[in-house]
Structure 1
């Protein structure tokens, strides 16, 4: 409470006057007599009395002084500060991302955000309008368009679903330019983390919910298959400020745990563990890594579908024997190789990868291709023969194709001087021109060797062990990725999944069952189908014409979402019960509610009590 007219307290100087009047007042008892003639002398004595006497305890003095104080307070105009009405247009953004699922004192941060949103709705002026937005990717983020109906706004807030994705703040704040079409539009953002708010979004009211959280989460998870064995890599990070003892266990989808490990994590530390196990009889099952429950449950589990690598059907089109190349390809476990002559190639093939040795078909196929020494060039690459020796001077890591490979100082006697298309990326650079490059044009992937890599008269590339076989294997892996029916089968929340149908024109219905059991019908019938509704962690099942087609797993694996104590909370102690509101707009400033009327009414009651006391001679 404060006073709008504090100068009225100067009237407090009247309080001593009330006390002075009680000093001067003599208290006598009244007596009724038949005549005053006998009392004339008493009247003379009264005039001679000393006016100042010792002040006795007096209830009237207390009541009169209190009455005067209350009257002075009334004149000073006491008032209470209260939030004002939200006038005009208001946009309310509620963060419903993964970190908002954290629970504190039995209540999630999202529930706390909804409570703050309902308070703002109550402040909406009858002539104002409000829009409700969450942090999903536009345009799915609008939960309620501008309306003055508070009931609709309340329902939109109460039905706001929890998402497991990261907030799309930049896209959301960019889209606000379409909605905040007046300069006085007020924008409120309720969240537990404002670290990624774009710098352009400076004129907003930020309402923070959530305190420091204690969390340990899975931040890395992958499954590989080699030599009849699966290997599960699990990375765990401690986001708290104290050392933690963490137990990690693996289980199949039936809930049967078959391996576990206990580690000690210092504050902020990350550790990775590898769990190997046999692949016998477990293909197609779901494997999960789990941690003990804590403030955030979403990052305590990560899952994958166990699938051995699918066979890559490779077609080699060459008029040469190519012994070294065929031996390399056949040594790759998941490669199924077929070689034909150039005259036998007619364009149509069901092979996943095509290798053309010194041959360029017309027209080019649509599949993924490796070109070996295309001397006449390609439709997207001009080439000239270079008979001068060259040497490899640099190589680049692109999509892990060059991982673990070194071709530095490899000498090549004859090569092609090529000019790369705009989408081409050089892998191996020489003193002359790019020697090996790759690129992606639409859905087609291309790898080009601008020399004859398996002619020992030209270079020693084929004898570079292990560089040559590793490079060929990793080129095939890069070209073959995405050829599975569902690719990839393990993704992070929000990442898309491709569903490939062999004969999409013969399919009547494609549905995806979400982790909660809800099914989504996919309208698209082209192949591949891009499924982007991966907003919940768990296992998704794809059905084609009511038959199970395949499964894929979605995991959080997001250190930023798992960090329940973002940097700004290290510097600011903010309570969920009293959220901080920053950068108030003029229309949203607090207003003064005067309460002097209540004080004046109390003064009148006190005056009635004083009158009663006076006439009762108390």
Structure 2
């Protein structure tokens, strides 16, 4: 037997001492003169016990009072014993707190309903000796609680899960659960979600085995959810007029009529246009132009007169930079696709040289905002700068050759749709006549992949910012697709963002990393969120890119660092899959436990407390004392 609060036993001294003192004190009686003591003899005998500090007599009431006092103080000391319990009965509760879980088709929200369902599940399924933990499924799944037998702590961790506007990385949440439960024998994984994991999640979900764990999912949400959403927004410079064109696409994803809904466009908080929406065919696209958009600014699209089940996708914003010219050098033996694609951007001043001329000049791209290499790489390391590489393999590139390319045709099977370079770039179905065999550089991030491996990547290394495409454009149909000039424009904007200050792209998707270009001399940048809370991020002392990875709320953020650095940046949802709100059950997530025998993952000490039982016993003795006293009276 051990005590958590042994010092509380000291309360026995004053409490029991006080009870005994009360029993020993003489009762104060009033003196009254009478004519005779004959009739009072039977009354005089008990008065002798009232003499001060007489010997204490044994009495049932005294015993009951002392026993009740001891039990109450002993309960305050919180006695407990140690035991051992196997973590084979592990429970992992996964609660989806992504953007779609903010929908109000289930009152007060899907997230609140998921939390309540998770706590009810623990009340039913968590037995004595079981251990449990909680994972919040967001763009970056995490857990704030180690395995514990304390059901109250687990419920509190569930209540502490905050809503976000990100897209749930459920494969990542399951991978985290797998790392916690090991082989999974005897473990239970319970998921509470509406199933909006994105179109690319199913294959990754099937690849996670979770050993012999019992996996199941409770779907949250109503099938009749109603939502109207801004699913796309972009701003591009018109190559003729030089003015910005802002494109906004709105979709009615619930099917119910929404008469009276208007799309309002604002620049720096001021309304510049408003248009009625009819949703013919379920969607409506609007393009905005005019002198108010010439110099860019903070552009916001807003749905007015609308009442639906999700408000996170009713607004979207773009931080359009002030137009500036960018000098781009194309090093190629002749590539009409690249030449025409780069010239579409009115801010690009393009010059073209042959590889031999580039080598002979010895300038290495000095004086240019961006250098594009086509099937060529100079010898030695790339100088600090910005580079776009097409079919240029080597140690300076994002790719090196890992063997001869296969003559079999292949297709793009996966892409990172959240990276600024892949903004509105759809590579699905992109065909390649040959399948290159490439090795991704350790410092590069894959953006698009075939079954053979990465094919498009980006990264920074030794002061060089590099985007690499690992195949010959002539071996694909990409130059004939709309996504090709969009990709080139994204590359120019992303790579040359170091020439100006502020956000590296017009907007970012909630849950992704935001890049901010900073001048020399700054040590940190203050980020003010849409809700008014502040964060600080480190900035390179010599200038460069500061990264902010806590953009989990849609809206306009402010980046500040002194009087000379004040830039807004926008974070949007813009995801039709999430905004659809139709719950998905994901049968691939329902897995029965394997037939292997249940073995504890490990034994851990378990503390069992008895203060509640002892306190209840004290109350019983107090009741008994009350009954004995009143029977005597």
Give TM-score scaled by structure 1 length.
0.56
1:131·1:146 contact (CA, 8 Å) conserved in 2?
yes
Classify the secondary structure of the residue corresponding to 2:313: helix
The answer to whether residue 137 in structure 2 is matched with residue 135 in structure 1 is yes
Cα-to-partner distance string for 1:227-250 (whole Å, 9 max, x where unaligned): 243322111222224444362322
Q: Which residue of 2 aligns with 1:206?
A: 217
2:528 pairs with 1:516: no
Is the contact made by 1:368 and 1:479 (CA closer than 8 Å) also made in structure 2? no
- In structure 2, relative to structure 1, the CA distance for the partners of 1:352 and 1:120 (3 Å cut) is same
Q: Is the Cα contact below 8 Å between 2:242 and 2:294 reproduced in 1?
A: no
Note the C-alpha offset of 1:264: 2.6
**Aligned-residue RMSD, C-alpha:** 5.3
SS of the equivalent of 1:566 reads coil
Distance 1:317 1:584 in 2: 59
Distance 1:215 1:438 in 2: 35
State the shift of 1:282 in Å.
5.7
Query: Do 2:227 and 2:580's aligned partners in 1 also have CA atoms closer than 8 Å?
Result: yes
Distance 1:472 1:172, change over 3 A: closer
Displacement after TM superposition at 1:168 (Å): 0.7
CA distance in 1, matches of 2:374, 2:118: 66
CA–CA distance in 2 between the matches of 1:218 and 1:357?
A: 38
Distance (Å, rounded) in 2 between the aligned partners of 1:584 and 1:473: 48
Distance 1:117 1:265 in 2: 38
Q: Distance in 2 between matches of 1:175 and 1:533?
A: 20
Kept in 2: contact 1:234–1:274 (CA 8 A): yes
2:471 & 2:150 partners in 1: Cα distance? 66
Q: Which residue of structure 1 lines up, in the alignment, with residue 41 of structure 2?
A: none
Greater Cα shift, 307-316 or 176-185? 307-316
1:110 partner SS: helix
Secondary structure in structure 2 of the residue aligned to 1:299: coil
C-alpha change, 1:298 and 1:584, in structure 2 (3 Å) is: farther
2:287 counterpart residue number? 274
Note the C-alpha offset of 1:553: 0.9
Who is 1:57 aligned against?
none
Query: Does 1:119 pair with 2:120?
Result: yes
Shift of 1:513: 2.1
Q: CA-to-partner distance for each residue in 1:577-614, whole Å, 9 max, x for gaps?
A: xxxx9979999xxxxxxxxxxxxxxxxxxxxxxxxxxx
Q: Would the aligned equivalents of 2:219 and 2:585 in 1 still touch at CA under 8 Å?
A: no
Deviation per residue, 1:337-371 (Å, 9 max, x gap) = 79999787555835312479999866464334589
Give the structure 1 partner of residue 193 of structure 2. 191
Closer/same/farther in 2, CA of residues 293 and 278 from structure 1, 3 Å limit: farther
User: What is the match of residue 444 of structure 1?
Assistant: 466
Q: Between Structure 1 and Structure 2, how many residues are aligned?
A: 428
Match of 2:303 in 1: 290
* Corresponding residue for residue 582 of structure 2: 565
- The answer to whether the 8 Å contact 1:423/1:440 transfers is no
Partner of 2:559: 542
Would you say the 8 A contact 2:523–2:539 is kept in 1? no
d(CA) in 2 for partners of 1:98, 1:499? 24
User: Is the CA contact (8 Å cut-off) linking 1:218 and 1:557 kept in structure 2?
Assistant: yes
Q: C-alpha separation between the residues in 2 aligned to 1:127 and 1:296? A: 41
Paired residue for 2:249, among 219, 223, 235?
A: 235
SS of equivalent residue, structure 1 residue 122: helix
1:110 corresponds in structure 2 to 111
Equivalent positions of 1:238-253 (< 5 A) are 238-245=252-259, 247-252=261-266
1:74-124 CA-partner distances (Å, limit 9, x unpaired)? xxxxxxxxxxxx993211111111111011365111111121222234343
Native 8 Å contact 1:310 1:484 kept in 2 = no
Say if 2:167 is the partner of 1:166. yes
Q: Give the Cα separation in 2 of the matches to 1:447 and 1:113.
A: 43
- How far apart in 2 are the matches of 1:241 and 1:330? 42
Deviation digits for residues 269-301 of structure 1 (CA, Å, limit 9, x no counterpart): 233221222246764233223242311001111
**Closer/same/farther in 2, CA of residues 282 and 106 from structure 1, 3 Å limit:** farther
2:422 & 2:579 partners in 1: Cα distance?
28
Asked if 1:312 is matched to 2:326, the reply is yes
Q: 1:265 to 1:148 in 2, by over 3 A?
A: same
How far apart, in 2, do the equivalents of 1:104 and 1:357 lie? 52
SS in structure 2 of the partner of residue 484 of structure 1 = helix
How far off is 1:537 after superposition? Answer: 0.6
Q: Aligned in 2, Cα 1:154/1:272: closer, same or farther, shift over 3 Å?
A: same
Q: Offset at 1:490?
A: 1.1
Q: Is the 8 A contact 1:293 1:300 kept in 2?
A: no
Q: Displacement of 1:217 after TM fit?
A: 1.1
Give the SS at the match of 2:261: strand
Partner of 1:552: 569
Distance 1:585 1:258, change over 3 A: farther
Cα deviation for residue 203 of structure 1 reads 3.0
Whole-angstrom distance in 1 between the partners of 2:134 and 2:190? 10
How far residue 438 of structure 1 moved from its aligned partner, in angstroms, is 10
Q: Are 1:264 and 2:278 counterparts?
A: yes
CA distance in 1, matches of 2:218, 2:376: 65
The answer on whether the counterparts of 2:219 and 2:584 sit within 8 Å (CA) in structure 1 is: no
SS state at 1:190 partner: strand
In the other structure, the counterpart of 1:484 is: 497
Contact kept? 2:260, 2:276, Cα under 8 Å: yes
8 Å CA contact retained: 1:220, 1:235: yes
Cα distance, 1:170 vs. partner? 0.9
The question of whether the paired residues in 1 share the 8 Å contact of 2:247 and 2:287 is answered with yes
Distance in 2 between the 1:357 and 1:101 partners?
Answer: 47
- SS at 2:569 equivalent: strand
State the structure with more CA Rg.
1
In the aligned structure 2, how far is the partner of 1:241 from the partner of 1:328? 39
